Homo-oligomer: A and B are copies of this chain.
Amino acid sequence: MNKTSRIDRHPIMTNAGLEPTQRVRARDEFGEPRELNIAGEHPLTIKVDEAEVVTLMTLGTYPEKLALGYLRNQRLIDNINEIAEVRVDWDRETVDVFTTHGDGIIDLHEKIAQRTVTSGCGQGTIFSCTLDKLYDTQLPRVEIYQSTIYALLNTINSYNEIYRAAGAVHGCALCEDSRILYFVEDVGRHNATDTIAGEMWLEDIGGNDKIFYTTGRLTSEIVMKAAHMGVPILISRSGITHMGLELAQDLGVTMIARAKGRHFLVYNSENTILYDAIPQPKTILAGSQDS
């Protein structure tokens, strides 16, 4: 794995992950009672040296890494060494991030005041500093074998535990070739992405030689986060939006969508795909069915 920058020491962190699912009672179409698991959803307010930044709605399994990844992907804090402590308190529904400066990131209050609040099935906030720094990102041109895509999709199938137990979550994975380094599920695909960013930041993992997989759609905000994480190849089980595509074109991100079974569609940087495992053409398959 490529490393990004030296970490002097890890921040002091709580380990306050919640159980992802809860058992509840429902009634089915036969009128019969059923015991089922549903996904948790918890508000979590991120504060940096007492200054309130955002409230996320999260599954709550990795709140410390989620907070770190959020601050990282929004480019609100540049260096992990600036962070002294990450303290989650579910009674207050708050994660307190304390910096080594003690009195907060000098211009954080100014950045918060200038934020644009975004919505939709979106991430909630874009800080102007997030956008300013986006085009500083240089992503390398990385090739990927079709056989690697298939091997990765095959591996992913065994991962999405919470989705299979309870539904209502999205899964995201950081991959190196067909190996899955981290897999995170959350009620918001943005949170799952940010949690992986937090893990990468803490463990000093670079994104340039990685692949980012998500069950969710490739909208502009997900492409933006992946670029901030330095990952040049995105694979999604779902579709894409036009703004996501335009951003991928600007930043040089390879966009592989509708990836499921043998099928996929490459929407940008299609020349980075090395077609070494082309399925039997449909016409031949149809012929073999006839025989």
Interface check A266, CB cutoff 8 A: yes
Chain B residue nearest to A43 in the complex (CB): B118
Residues of chain A whose beta carbon lies under 8 Å from any beta carbon of chain B: 22, 24, 26-31, 34, 36, 38-43, 45, 54-58, 70, 115-126, 146, 166-168, 170, 186-191, 216-217, 219-221, 238-245, 257-258, 262-267, 270, 273, 275, 278-279, 281
Given known A-B contacts A41-B219, A241-B40, A55 and B263 have beta carbons under 8 A apart: no
**A-B contact sample (5 more), CB < 8 A, given A24-B245, A30-B279, A122-B188:** A22-B242, A27-B270, A29-B262, A39-B239, A187-B219
* Cα separation A189 to B30 with both chains bound (whole Å): 29
The contact of A217 among B31, B168, B266, by CB within 8 Å, is B168
Please tell me how many copies of the chain the complex holds.
Answer: 2
Please pick, from B36, B188, B262, the residue contacting A120 in the complex, using a CB distance under 8 A.
B188
**Provided the pairs A119-B56, A219-B57, A241-B41 are in contact, do residues A265 and B124 lie with their beta carbons within 8 angstroms?**
no
Residue from A26, A70, A243 with most neighbouring chain B CB atoms (10 Å): A26
The smallest beta-carbon distance between A56 and chain B, in angstroms, is: 5
Which B residues touch A43, using CB under 8 A?
A: 118, 243
**Residues of chain B with a CB closer than 8 A to A186's CB:** 120
- Nearest-neighbour CB distance to chain B for A275, whole angstroms, equals 5
Selected contact of A29 from candidates B41, B188, B243, B278, CB within 8 Å? B278
A115 touches B118 (CB 8 A): no
The complex places the Cα of A31 from the Cα of B273 at a distance, in Å, of 9
3 nearest A-B residue pairs (beta carbon): A120-B188, A119-B124, A167-B239
Which chain B residue lies CB-closest to A124? Answer: B119
What are 24 contact pairs spanning A and B, CB under 8 A?
Answer: A24-B267, A26-B257, A30-B281, A31-B275, A38-B241, A38-B245, A39-B239, A41-B220, A41-B243, A43-B118, A54-B119, A55-B119, A55-B126, A57-B221, A119-B191, A120-B124, A120-B186, A120-B190, A121-B188, A121-B216, A124-B125, A168-B217, A168-B239, A187-B219
Which residues in B have their C-beta under 8 angstroms from that of A28? 263-266
- Decide: B118 and A265 in contact? CB cutoff 8 A: no
A191 to chain B minimum Cβ distance, whole angstroms, is 5
- Contact at B166–A239, with CB atoms within 8 Å? yes
Shortest Cβ distance from A163 into chain B, in angstroms? Answer: 9
Specify which chain B residues have a CB less than 8 angstroms from the CB of A264 in the assembled complex. 28-29
A17 to chain B, nearest CB (A): 16
Chain B contacts of A22 at CB under 8 A?
242
